[in-house]
Chain A
Amino acid sequence: MTMEKLVEKYFRPGRLPHIWCPGCGNGIVTGAIVKAIDKLELAKDDVAVISGIGCSSRASGYLDFNTANTLHGRAIPIASGVKMGDPRLNVIVVTGDGDSTAIGGNHIIHAARRNIDLTVVIFNNNIYGMTGGQYSPLTPIHSKATTAPYTTIEPAFNIPELVKAAGATFVARATTFHAQILADVIAQGIAHKGFSVIEAVSACPISFGRQNKMGGPADMMKWQRDHGVPLAAWDKMTDEQKEGKFPIGVLHHDTSKQEYTDAYDGIIKTAQGGK
């Protein structure tokens, strides 16, 4: 289906243009989410999109599913409640790098540990964009931010490694340049039964790019093209060639662990066994 038809089918009518800045990658990630849902042929009523606070979290308001734009950092606990309430739903969490790994950092590791069947799409634009360019846990070390005028001295998280170590059973990464791969890995994440995390590398030309002299929106997208390496090629590269670059694709997939709502169903049955 063309993007025009996908917008007609899955977006709330009359909401475009969206609020995101010129060249912001968030529209592409949102487009990839609806492409993934369309590919899986999910009924709109069977999908819930839960977001936190931030630029990325505005995405839920444009989409015509069961949606909730919730509290800063708390999208994952609220989505967990939705999933526990109706485990048949496909629950997608739309969150940013600050929302999910700073204020919501505790929630993401514990949801990963439980392996609850959520699909978390992290719009990683390396900065707190909406509030004016403060550095986040995903701002690369030695970058400028309004709160780090002499550059940051903190290393950034590696989202896939973090959530994999915490217990996530599906982990992938793509960029807004690799838009088709992004839609494909989101679809695989939704189809996976268990805790899925997709890091969507997105550009913030206004609050991150401008401070760090990364050029305009097209230059930032070319940066993604030149630094995001598909996994098959990544595996053949030397450590020297990997320097400064990052792999994209499905980075971890484990189907051996029990999913949380299934385990909870088991506990309900055990508890009712004495009747």
Chain B
Amino acid sequence: MNLKIYTERCKGCGICAAFCPKQILKVSEIEKIEVLDDASCIKCGQCELRCPDFAINVVKEEK
């Protein structure tokens, strides 16, 4: 899993989806973010950097 979502914090603003270079995020009908294709995530961190709600995080591998 590359992305971890705190669904209760997400308000569905769509900023992460708009800035995702791989276009793998989508705001669902109930205005929560959905990961369409986790395997295509390149962990660039744009979503985490731009989320105003602390709702989406890139999962770092344990060292």
A210 to chain B, nearest CB (A): 13
A186 interface residue (CB < 8 Å to B): no
Q: State A96–B17 Cα separation when bound (angstroms).
A: 28
Check B54–A221 contact: CB distance below 8 A.
no
B2 interface residue (CB < 8 Å to A): no
Q: Which residues of A contact B12 (CB under 8 A)?
A: 22
Extra contacts besides A3-B51, A21-B11, A205-B13 (8): CB < 8 Å:
A2-B60, A3-B48, A16-B6, A17-B9, A176-B52, A180-B49, A216-B14, A218-B19
Q: Encode contact with B along A2-26: 1 for CB under 8 Å, 0 otherwise.
A: 1110010000000011101111111
Q: Would you list which residues of chain B between 4 and 61 have a CB under 8 Å from chain A? A: 4, 6, 8-15, 17-19, 31, 48-55, 57-58, 60
Q: Given A217-B13, A217-B15, A218-B14, answer yes or no on A2-B58 (Cβ-Cβ < 8 Å).
A: yes
Check B52–A23 contact: CB distance below 8 A.
yes
A77 interface residue (CB < 8 Å to B): no
B10 to chain A, nearest CB (A): 8
Check B60–A26 contact: CB distance below 8 A.
no
B20 to chain A, nearest CB (A): 10
Check A31–B14 contact: CB distance below 8 A.
no
Check B14–A27 contact: CB distance below 8 A.
no
Can you give 10 contacting A-B residue pairs, CB < 8 Å? A3-B51, A16-B6, A16-B8, A17-B53, A18-B53, A22-B31, A23-B15, A24-B52, A176-B50, A218-B14
Check A218–B48 contact: CB distance below 8 A.
no
Check A23–B13 contact: CB distance below 8 A.
yes
A71 interface residue (CB < 8 Å to B): no
Interface of B toward A, CB cutoff 8 Å: 4, 6, 8-15, 17-19, 31, 48-55, 57-58, 60
Check A3–B54 contact: CB distance below 8 A.
yes
Q: Which residues of B contact A102 (CB under 8 A)?
A: none
Check B9–A26 contact: CB distance below 8 A.
no
Beta-carbon nearest neighbor of B9 in chain A: A17
Check B50–A17 contact: CB distance below 8 A.
no
Q: Which residues of A contact B52 (CB under 8 A)?
A: 20, 23-28, 176, 217
A179 interface residue (CB < 8 Å to B): yes
Q: State A216–B11 Cα separation when bound (angstroms).
A: 13
Q: Given A16-B6, A27-B52, A218-B18, answer yes or no on A4-B11 (Cβ-Cβ < 8 Å).
A: no
B29 to chain A, nearest CB (A): 15
B7 to chain A, nearest CB (A): 10
Q: Given A17-B8, A22-B11, A22-B12, answer yes or no on A221-B53 (Cβ-Cβ < 8 Å).
A: no
Q: Given A4-B57, A217-B14, A218-B18, answer yes or no on A28-B50 (Cβ-Cβ < 8 Å).
A: yes
Q: Which residues of A contact B19 (CB under 8 A)?
A: 218, 221
